[in-house]
Amino acid sequence: MQRRTDGSRVLVYSHDTFGLGHLRRCRTISHSLVEHNKNLSVLILSGSPIIGSFDFRSRVDFVRVPGVIKLRDGQYTSLNLHMDIEETLELRSSVIQHTALIFDPDVFIIDKEPTGLRGEVLETMRLLKARGTKLVLGLRDVMDEPAALAPEWHRKNVMPALRDLFDEIWIYGLPQICDPLEGIALPEKVKRKIFYTGYLKRYSNEPPPEHQLPGICERPFLLVTPGGGGDGEALIDWVLKAYESTRLLPYPALLVLGPFMDREIRAGFIERCRKLRRVDAITFDAHMEHLVANAVGVVAMGGYNTFCEILSLDKRAIIVPRTAPRMEQYIRASRAQELGLVRMLVDDGTRDPAVMATALRNLPQQRLPSEVVVPGLLEGLENVNRLIQRWLRPLPAKDGADTASRRA
């Protein structure tokens, strides 16, 4: 197949079996790439059921593959289709491969899963590699504790792809905060492919969304977010207990419960909010950067995207990390607390209202993240653009400029 002669193209893969984290990270990177490269188009492959709820910049689009979800026993099942999981995965692989071959990207960025969900992008990677496409594995700052990640990657047999297929591995963090591949025996060939970019800075300088928010947002308010919400009921319950037990808290609170929270649990939380004068709740907002920017502080579980927003928008934060099924959030929050970037509370199962209330009262006295000097902390997008520039096609020269250049 003859290679294209038009502008550059980047394909981004996000498996998205659960939550919002992978999609929001890929969207942030994609928007930054087209902002800095006027002849670039980016296409996102995603299994997220709510990808259509987000806005995308010009020259960024998406293809949604059939969704799957991971059950509590670790098995996968089709999200909406009445199909066997093997058939669903076969369908996903086919959509991914055909899309990739027609789109014909210059660069293919795979988010988190080196060969995709159960190896669904492996054949596509081989075909694109043969065409000359550059392959990049993008990893968040923390994957899991080494004792869990090493056997997982061994079981998935990802080392041949790391060694033979990927051109580079970009880690969206800093080694002084965490090495996500600690404990994994990497060949020197693979180690040489690793680049730490720094965290992906978030902005709220786009026009604010035109939708009505609760009246609480008209005055200084605290934002409480469990991300997608599928496993965030403990955080919401603990914060509500604090507001139910005392009125002597510095700020009213807006709870963003998340689109994946169980409907019955969500309804119960909304009913509890109705009984409190200083607490309100919404299910979902696709413009979380604006909410974070307008809040005086944040209480969150500490996923990657929320952490980036806290740092980027310089907000005092209380992080209540989950510890199952992965230790990712705990590792990130504990290291950030050691550096003085956030305050961490660990849910021991009792959710003592007095403990949360004390943390909320002390929040105004916490240091701002900007008061902690960590070189290169928020240079992730700048470095991603620098790294990818080597593989993009140059802008076509204008006729006048081209003629002047030849004459010179």
Domain ranges of the chain: 8-201+378-400, 215-371
pLDDT at 79: 84
Query: d(Cα 392, Cα 387) in Å, to the nearest integer?
Result: 10
pLDDT at 142: 95
Query: d(Cα 315, Cα 313) in Å, to the nearest integer?
Result: 6
The pTM is what?
0.91
123: which residues sit within 8 A by CB, 6+ positions away?
A: 93, 97
pLDDT of 321 > 80? The answer is yes
In the structure, what pLDDT confidence band is assigned to residue 50 with cuts at 50, 70 and 90? confident
In the structure, what pLDDT confidence band is assigned to residue 17 with cuts at 50, 70 and 90? low
pLDDT of 143 > 50? The answer is yes
pLDDT of 403 > 60? The answer is no
The H-assigned helical ranges of 110-217 are 122-131, 146-156, 159-164, 188-191
Can you tell me the mean pLDDT for 152-157? 93
Can you tell me the mean pLDDT for 208-215? 70
Yes or no: is domain 215-371 CATH 3.40.50.12780? no
Can you tell me the mean pLDDT for 90-110? 97
Superfamily of domain 8-201+378-400: Glycogen Phosphorylase B; (3.40.50.2000)
- The answer to whether 8-201+378-400 and 215-371 have equal CATH topology is yes
Report how far apart, in Å, the C-alpha atoms of 41 and of each of 2, 35, 92, 310, 342 are. 19, 10, 22, 29, 37
pLDDT at 81: 86
pLDDT at 2: 52
The closest of 306, 327, 278, 250 to 319, measured between CA atoms, is: 306
Q: What is the pLDDT of residues 219-273, one digit of tens each?
A: 999 999 998 888 899 999 999 999 999 988 999 999 999 988 999 999 999 999 9
Percent of the chain at pLDDT above 70?
91
pLDDT of 61 > 70? The answer is yes
Query: d(Cα 270, Cα 272) in Å, to the nearest integer?
Result: 5
pLDDT at 408: 35
